[in-house]
Amino acid sequence: GSLQINEKDDKLKAAANEDKAAQSLLNKLIRSNLVNTTNQVEVLQRDPSSPLYSVKSFEELRLKPQLLQGVYAMGFNRPSKIQETALPMMLAEPPQNLIAQSQSGTGKTAAFVLAMLSHVDPENKWPQCLCVSPTYELALQTGKVIEQMGKFYPEVQLVYAIRGNKLERGTRLQEQIVIGTPGTVLDWCQKLKFIEPKRIKVFVLDEADVMIATQGHQDQSIRIQRMLPKTCQMLLFSATFEDTVWNFAKRIVPDPNIIKLKREEETLDTIKQYYVICNSKEEKFQALCNIYGAITIAQAMIFCHTRKTAGWLAGELSREGHQVALLSGEMQVEQRAAVIERFRDGKEKVLVTTNVCARGIDVEQVSVVINFDLPVDKDGNPDNETYLHRIGRTGRFGKRGLAINMVDSRFSMNILNRIQEHFKRVDSESLKQVV
Ligand code: ADP
């Protein structure tokens, strides 16, 4: 009995973690721009009496010319919000430790890559910077940024400490930067001794929130950290900051400076919300067809509760001659990225998806959102947060939007009422019924 339940729990947890890492990778694959925010960074200095520098240009950082060239070749004109403060801190002498949190797409990776490249001495043929990422794919992705930014600095070499990269026993690495996953990095430092941890000058732990979600990664990271010299600069990055992340961060980074950038708040203020009453899935489909012309004036996203419904709906819509894209959980991350990119480019006007797939993806031009199924959590209660994420707008995209909720039972009407009740406190306009 209970053993089975535990196993199921573990499986669910493992799936959720995989999902977190996949989501993060997906965001990286489709992101071509910085996420802008109007919020200010919050800074907590280790030594509040020391002056706090922030820079408005990359020149002010006095980077090596090869690196400045790399930065400009990537199309960066000026530091992002978080880079303005994080870069001077990371490049200061003596080195300072840093814990930084901001949502994905705000420039964290570019920042620590630049810091690592700046601290390397290319004359020294041994690992000096060590970066750990939660998964193989995420490590590769960060590696690509190192290669791009270091394009004009070919003396600096990079090696991947990831599964499958088998080196001969007795190897001593000559590359200055090592990027990998915690298990392999630990092996390379401890068991195989490819890396001499005492010579590491910069240690980066990326995606701490994804990292701690995986059993074992937390321990491995702490064991790696303990092998490093006291003088090593420790840097930790995370997109979110729950207590668990924070507790972990404090164990990895002693005497940290802390930088936080709040996520832009979403509101329902500029959204017109409607609902349609139907009696079945088929009726909902019919209702959708009736309003299809109106919703495809702009771009629309349609949310379903399960993969099965999403697949069915996309099939039915295609059969009616509508061109729709389907984003589904069984697709590989790369496939999902391709679908999202096509939708972004306007090649398809309608995207049918489940919640899991689309979480955390901002598709700016979407102005119609249809809840084919209302968002409920696993206990069948209204999922207000998801409702807000699907429909809400941040100040910066403040464009008007339209949301249509499809109700097909007493149960879903009740969910909708409770969602409405929840948001009434903040949003004055109530939902309108359409027929
Ligand atoms: P994060 O690590 O916070 O997710 P990234 O460093 O990956 O963010 O940056 C997100 C996107 O913005 C990437 O495509 C990156 O190339 C780009 N980017 C990063 N810094 C800048 C900058 N200063 N100017 C313009 N684009 C930038």
The residue contributing the CA closest to ligand 1 atom 25 is: 76
Q: Residue 8: is its pLDDT beyond 90?
A: no
Measured over the CA atoms of residue 89, residue 93, residue 99 and residue 103, the dihedral's sign is: positive
Output the average pLDDT for the chain. 89
Lowest mean pLDDT among 196-200, 333-337, 422-426: 422-426
Mutate to test the pocket of ligand 1, among 76, 85, 131, 140 (most ligand atoms within 8 A of CB): 76
The residue contributing the CA closest to ligand 1 atom 20 is: 107
The residue contributing the CA closest to ligand 1 atom 19 is: 107
Pairing, β 98-101 against β 257-261: parallel
pLDDT at 25: 84
Q: Relative to the CA of 106, which ligand 1 atom is closest? A: 3
Mutate to test the pocket of ligand 1, among 34, 54, 145 (most ligand atoms within 8 A of CB): 34
Q: Residue 293: is its pLDDT beyond 80?
A: yes
Residues 6+ apart with CB under 8 A from 126: 172, 173, 174, 176, 196, 199
CA 74–ligand 1 middle distance (angstroms): 10
The residue contributing the CA closest to ligand 1 atom 12 is: 34
Long-range CB pairs of 355-358 (<8 Å, 24+ gap) are 355/303, 355/305, 355/386, 355/390, 356/19, 356/329, 357/327, 357/328, 357/329, 358/301, 358/303, 358/327, 358/390
**Does the Cβ of 76 fall within 6 Å of ligand 1?**
yes
Mutate to test the pocket of ligand 1, among 27, 80, 235 (most ligand atoms within 8 A of CB): 80
Q: Residue 427: is its pLDDT beyond 60?
A: no
**Does the Cβ of 20 fall within 6 Å of ligand 1?**
no
* Backbone φ, ψ for residue 178 (5° rounding): -115, 130
pLDDT at 14: 63
> What's the one-letter identity of residue 285?
F
pLDDT at 428: 41
Q: Relative to the CA of 206, which ligand 1 atom is closest? A: 2
CA 31–ligand 1 middle distance (angstroms): 8
Residue 340 buriedness (CB in 10 A; 0-12 / 13-18 / 19+)? buried
